[in-house]
Chain A
Amino acid sequence: MSWEVKYNQNNPVAPLLFSCANHAPIPTKILYNNEIDSDVPSQTAALIAKAKEIGAGITPSMCKTSFDSDHQSSDNLYYDGLSIFQKTLLAGAYYASSINNELANPNQTTIITCCSNVIAETSRSLRNIFGYDQIQGGSLSPVRSSLYCAAQASSSRTFIGVYCVSRRIVPEAGRNWYQGVFAEFSDGTQAILSGGAFYASDETISAFDDMSGKDPNENDPLTPNNQAGEPGGPAWSGGGVDGSGGGFGDFDYSSATETDPSDPALQTSSAGFFTVHVSSDFSELNNLATYLWSNQFDIDNFKRIYADPMDCILGCNIIPATVPVSPATVKVGNISTTVSFPKATKNFVTEDLGTCFIPESKYTKTFLDYAPYTKCQLYLPYIGFVELSANEVIGRTLSIKYHIDIVTGAFVANVYSAGCLIGTYPGNCATSIPITSGQYAASFQTAAQVATTALAAAAVIGAFALAPEVAGPVAAAGSSIPLGTGIGGLSVQGAFSGAPVATAGMYGVAGAAGAGAGLSLGELASKGLAAKGLSDTASKGMRSVRDYLTPSVTRSGALSCASGYLNIKYAFLLITAPDCAIPSTYNEFHGRTTYDTLKLSSLKGFTQIAYIHLGTTGTDEEREEIMRLLSEGVML
């Protein structure tokens, strides 16, 4: 196999990619090899299965009009009644099912194809289903769509490059059929930009040179970034908004990528002063205990060095991690035992808590989906709730990784939004198993501290007045936790006894607080709201988004150690989004926010002017009246 660098980093495709998804510049190479038809990413089989599953109920009559071999019929797909997502799936599935022969060929790349008009929506939706890696843009402008797709698909990772692995001449069509165009990402995955069909004429390819700096989806009505002046959109020209407008919040992708740190090279367990044995249950520990109390253990020899065998036990914990191990036997105080107990080969491990994609279109699809109107709180195991900005959540893929030291239980939870580290939270996930008297005391002390901290946090919660519906579910959760095992549980299970107290304390008080009378003006004022705005709103008896800045609610206290062990082990987002009341005639009577420069003759209906330099004839008094009326809003 020989590769030829067809285009190099200087090719204008690269800036095109950056412009369409606001990514930092990446090297772009297009390679081709006339002898190879395609390239097969490792996930092709999964895609085939998924495509067949979706395509099982699809008949050509359902979507043939929405899709043809040249990917040209975008109008039907967009306007045919079904949602864009449904139609796109149908088209993609039909296409996938219609080329089973190709799919069955392990040397054939794959395919969900959609039209440029729906490419933005599709890429956002399908990447969830197909794990980002199988999205193809076809249709009217295959190059643009494909590249845009790739950019969309890459929103959670860094581009390495884009490659075209083969080119087939299609004489009857007079075009080249490029296959196996795919992108490579920093995490080693690949995204297919175009699989089975990527028709492009020589003119199209040569047109790469002419596309530098242009918006690859400039005709896509569903691409919010097509807004003039927005990142990825055309240069600001003072126009071009429509009813579907929008953007991607204020999150700047231009330099926002951080790769997850690799485990430290220096493993503390390599120091030679201690050894970490790991077991998935207590069987090995039981064997060791049995051994130590048996006459097989050479206690006389041991006592020449130590007073108590337990002096050699530095810690015994339950750690929520998967650790690579090697077979070993335990040595206690340099005294070999016959007890088999696997030994950890590394003491820093990484746990992936997965991803969570919050589609921009899932909620109101307006500014209300973002901060400060929508609040996002992230529950992290062993940490509790932390506040995130909705601007960094909506329309993004969040991912979480825990970097855990299995010796101490200390960990750091890294939260990424679209590949950018947006939060790092330390904690401790070691649930201590008391073996010695000293450990027992320490465990109890830790649990008591947790309980104290939680109760203090609950007191803070009490300072706020939660809306009942917010506190209700939380209180309900709290009530399900037995209080009876609280402080009184100073028994052998002392290491765990603090947790129910802590949990019940923080939730229970939150519930009680939830029975409060809602937000007070004072609290809202503390958020910097203008008194006039509040009084205006109050006088109207309605709650405006202006005063929707609800106080932050602390939902948990210290949730480490045993209390974390007793709680939920997965992460989730708790999203509090406003429920807006839009009367049916709101747009007609009052309009929606435009904030754009437009000629009045191009408008109709209710129009309110922000700024105008009025140059009409008439007296000053008349001009002033016109200005006043326009600023109040008129019907054009």
Chain B
Amino acid sequence: MFDIVVGVTNTPIDHLEKDFIPVATLQGILRDSSSIINPVVLIETTLPTNWNYAVISTFGRKYYIRDIVSIRTGLVELTLHVDVLATYADQIRNHTAVIARNAYKYNLFLPDTEVKCYQRPHILTEHFSGQLPPGMVTLVVAGSGGTSSQNQPDPMVG
């Protein structure tokens, strides 16, 4: 015989900790061959059984209530499954790990293959600051001709 606190949580199951609203503390016993991870607990109660969460301090664990079966009047069978995140939350927090993704600490220059892209990409142009000159005419003639006709400083053509 042990105490079982039953109640309600609206916290999504992937949260490390759950907001638990206890409804009642009841006395329960284990059915035969129950495991500590998936225990089946018999409790005597006439209360409405709209619970989805339970805490059994004797086991040192928090449980999801997976199923509630009425055996007979005043006797209810709860099928539980351990909430490992909430049960071991403190221990988990104390761990150091290589973080793959996080909501607030991230590096946008690391590839994220799960980002979706629209089929139509952006197409942009970036121009260079200069350009080739419009062109000039070159005439290549045989021989080393081309005598200097004037003594002028070199002009630039083009």
Tell whether A pairs with B.
yes
Cβ–Cβ < 8 Å partners of A449 in chain B = none
- A8-16, A316-324, A456-464, A498-506 - interface stretch: A316-324
A278 pairs with B157, CB closer than 8 A: yes
**A-contact bits for B124-139, CB 8 A (1 contact / 0 none):** 1111111111111111
B138 to chain A, nearest CB (A): 5
Separation of A352 and B154 alpha carbons in the complex (Å):
20
- A17-25, A38-46, A83-91, A619-627 - interface stretch: A619-627
- CB pairs A–B below 8 angstroms (18 shown): A245-B106, A277-B140, A279-B139, A280-B158, A282-B137, A319-B138, A398-B128, A543-B117, A544-B113, A544-B117, A550-B121, A570-B132, A571-B131, A574-B124, A593-B112, A610-B99, A612-B95, A613-B95
Cβ–Cβ < 8 Å partners of A552 in chain B = none
Given that A343-B146, A572-B128 are known contacts, is A626 also in contact with B88, CB under 8 Å in the complex? yes
Residue of A at shortest CB range from B38?
Answer: A621
- A114-122, A183-191, A257-265, A465-473 - interface stretch: A465-473
Which single member of B93, B105, B132 contacts A320 (CB below 8 Å)? B132
B87 within 8 A of A: yes
Cβ–Cβ < 8 Å partners of A596 in chain B = 98-99, 105, 107
A173 within 8 A of B: no
B138 pairs with A317, CB closer than 8 A: yes
Cβ–Cβ < 8 Å partners of A621 in chain B = 37
Beyond the given pairs A320-B133, A320-B134, A353-B130, 8 more chain A to chain B contacts, judged by CB atoms under 8 angstroms and listed by A's residue number, are A243-B105, A245-B107, A313-B140, A321-B135, A322-B136, A351-B130, A565-B135, A630-B97
B56 within 8 A of A: no
- A164-172, A197-205, A267-275 - interface stretch: A267-275
Separation of A593 and B112 alpha carbons in the complex (Å):
6
Separation of A611 and B99 alpha carbons in the complex (Å):
7
Which single member of A590, A591, A616 contacts B88 (CB below 8 Å)? A616
B102 pairs with A594, CB closer than 8 A: yes
A358 within 8 A of B: yes
Which single member of A316, A400, A573, A611 contacts B97 (CB below 8 Å)? A611
A322 to chain B, nearest CB (A): 4
A382 to chain B, nearest CB (A): 8
Given that A317-B137, A325-B154, A340-B149 are known contacts, is A246 also in contact with B105, CB under 8 Å in the complex? no
Separation of A325 and B141 alpha carbons in the complex (Å):
15
A579 pairs with B121, CB closer than 8 A: yes
A609 pairs with B98, CB closer than 8 A: yes
Separation of A365 and B150 alpha carbons in the complex (Å):
59
A157 to chain B, nearest CB (A): 16
Cβ–Cβ < 8 Å partners of B150 in chain A = 327
Separation of A625 and B142 alpha carbons in the complex (Å):
88
Separation of A285 and B105 alpha carbons in the complex (Å):
70
Residue of A at shortest CB range from B119?
Answer: A543
A242 within 8 A of B: yes
Cβ–Cβ < 8 Å partners of B88 in chain A = 616-618, 622, 626
Which single member of B91, B115, B144 contacts A272 (CB below 8 Å)? B144
A353 pairs with B154, CB closer than 8 A: no
Residue of A at shortest CB range from B143?
Answer: A334
B47 within 8 A of A: no
A475 within 8 A of B: no
A290 to chain B, nearest CB (A): 14
A277 pairs with B141, CB closer than 8 A: yes
Number of contacting residues on B, CB 8 A? 77
Given that A544-B114, A572-B127 are known contacts, is A314 also in contact with B109, CB under 8 Å in the complex? no
B108 pairs with A594, CB closer than 8 A: no
Task: Sort A-B residue pairs by CB-CB distance and give the 7 closest, nearest first.
Answer: A331-B145, A354-B130, A605-B103, A354-B129, A245-B107, A591-B101, A322-B158
Given that A575-B123, A626-B92 are known contacts, is A570 also in contact with B130, CB under 8 Å in the complex? yes
Cβ–Cβ < 8 Å partners of A275 in chain B = 140-141, 143-146
Which single member of B102, B144, B146, B147 contacts A605 (CB below 8 Å)? B102
B12 within 8 A of A: yes
Separation of A587 and B102 alpha carbons in the complex (Å):
8
B133 pairs with A321, CB closer than 8 A: yes
The size class of the interface chain A forms with chain B is 35 or more
A356 within 8 A of B: yes
Cβ–Cβ < 8 Å partners of B141 in chain A = 274-275, 277, 312-314, 330-332
A315 pairs with B101, CB closer than 8 A: no
B122 within 8 A of A: yes
Residue of B at shortest CB range from A618?
Answer: B88
Separation of A582 and B84 alpha carbons in the complex (Å):
32
Cβ–Cβ < 8 Å partners of B106 in chain A = 241, 243, 245, 587, 591-594
Seen from chain B, the residues whose Cβ lies within 8 Å of a Cβ on chain A are 12, 14-16, 36-37, 82, 84-85, 87-88, 91-150, 152, 154-158
Cβ–Cβ < 8 Å partners of B117 in chain A = 368, 373, 543-545, 548, 578-581
A246 pairs with B107, CB closer than 8 A: yes
Which single member of A355, A593, A600 contacts B100 (CB below 8 Å)? A593
B138 pairs with A622, CB closer than 8 A: no
Given that A327-B152, A572-B127, A594-B101 are known contacts, is A318 also in contact with B137, CB under 8 Å in the complex? yes
A546 within 8 A of B: yes
Given that A470-B123, A605-B104 are known contacts, is A273 also in contact with B144, CB under 8 Å in the complex? yes
Given that A363-B122, A608-B100 are known contacts, is A316 also in contact with B154, CB under 8 Å in the complex? no
Residue of B at shortest CB range from A588?
Answer: B103
A243 pairs with B139, CB closer than 8 A: no
Separation of A331 and B139 alpha carbons in the complex (Å):
11
Which single member of B96, B132, B140 contacts A274 (CB below 8 Å)? B140
B57 to chain A, nearest CB (A): 15
Residue of A at shortest CB range from B142?
Answer: A312
A407 within 8 A of B: yes
Residue of A at shortest CB range from B88?
Answer: A616
Residue of A at shortest CB range from B81?
Answer: A625
Separation of A581 and B139 alpha carbons in the complex (Å):
58
Separation of A617 and B55 alpha carbons in the complex (Å):
17
Cβ–Cβ < 8 Å partners of B118 in chain A = 543, 578-581
Contacting B at CB under 8 A, from A334-350, are 334, 336, 340-345
Given that A274-B140, A329-B149, A593-B111 are known contacts, is A342 also in contact with B157, CB under 8 Å in the complex? yes
B134 to chain A, nearest CB (A): 7
Separation of A288 and B122 alpha carbons in the complex (Å):
53
Separation of A624 and B113 alpha carbons in the complex (Å):
26
